[in-house]
Structure 1
């Protein structure tokens, strides 16, 4: 164990050394030994934060500990905090965030909601870190899981409603899950089988209003106002591909001129996305 420790402190990706440690630890099967192993791998990660074998070893330790002993929730909390602290120092660390996503299966619903709240503060100054939003998706799906069970209570749905808010690239995931759990005809498994009830109409109406406001942002307010308008337009066309009924609502709420503006904005950068709209127009004729 001392020899492999020395090797790993020098070369964290030395897989044979990690495998030797796994073999010895599996025979000892002691909670204190597992905790000591987590401490060692934490030290190694402080110097090699993107070492995949080290992260993988931590997951193995947690699984082994949970099989023989109950996994204290404070261990999961500390693991999540470790990823957050490493994320501050090691930008775009996919391996660390994958580890954090993996931890969600060991979390209670209360812990998941706490993680979502904490992540709001972290996501603000780290908008470009897509791994952060992948983690949010994993947390959201964990909250939505009880809704799959017949007879889920009102509190489950209330918590689910609270978390479905996010940025443009995140909205597609949110919209699909909104439809799947709140607007879809429960007798069908397809997204297209939604029924246009009052709640669905309000929700889509709000999305159209968001599009309209994004198209009219003054050019002196944001440096990337053109990108904002493009992303909003692309998002709405993506929406019509999944729910054709949205197109008629766009025509009604935006009018012909604004709708042409939306198509023109997309045509300049993403002309291939308009092929679907041509099919829609052809079908109407």
Structure 2
């Protein structure tokens, strides 16, 4: 059972890890991107529609990434050009994405809730020759689709970009001291645009995985608030790629557990589906307590209730 649970956790965590990678780039640039769900839902629809129309997984992923990056460009346009508050603009973009995909689902496919077809291509499982023969690890790590391996390989790549390149240094300086970065000659607006587009890229991959790599269909609101869980992972890990990926993986493990436990415990699935969200709330409580302790150590304000 452990191997099955770990295998499922890796699969379920993929969109969370990808969304976390995208969200932490804007987080490091001083922008909390709350439109991750909107990016993913538009990408999920574009992936299914393109793959269904062309029969090509590659074109499906490309369409997902392009549509997600286009929505990211719209968000950063609202924020930087028209000075809209990033939270308000993010909520507006997310609602627009959900409404647009629901409209296109009805208008293009004539479906009101879900679209699936045998003509939608699916990713084949990859059996890794050397890895699959290793006891325990082979059952956990082999047999996934390509996007699963791409996701976890992307984590060290993002870490390298952030902490070993000049672009990453500028991104972090913009997030920590925007005025100082501008005074030093850094084009702050350009850095924020690049970070948001990169966020759209990773969320595009996440949306494509949701509709093509995890299942082969599109359903309204199929992101299931994964963007908010990814934001919780980013905040808990303070925007560090490895830590964010680990936290996202823990949330994925909680989701996998909520699916497996009904078979063992006999409890109602609706009760166990609360597990990932309970874990998310607990994580945010831990973050809040850590921040309060830090303020207290630094002599900051605190409230004493007599």
Q: Tell me if both proteins adopt one fold, taking TM over 0.5 as the criterion.
A: no
TM-score by length of 2: 0.20
Q: Which has the higher contact order (CA 8 A, sep 6+)?
A: 2
TM-score by length of 1: 0.21
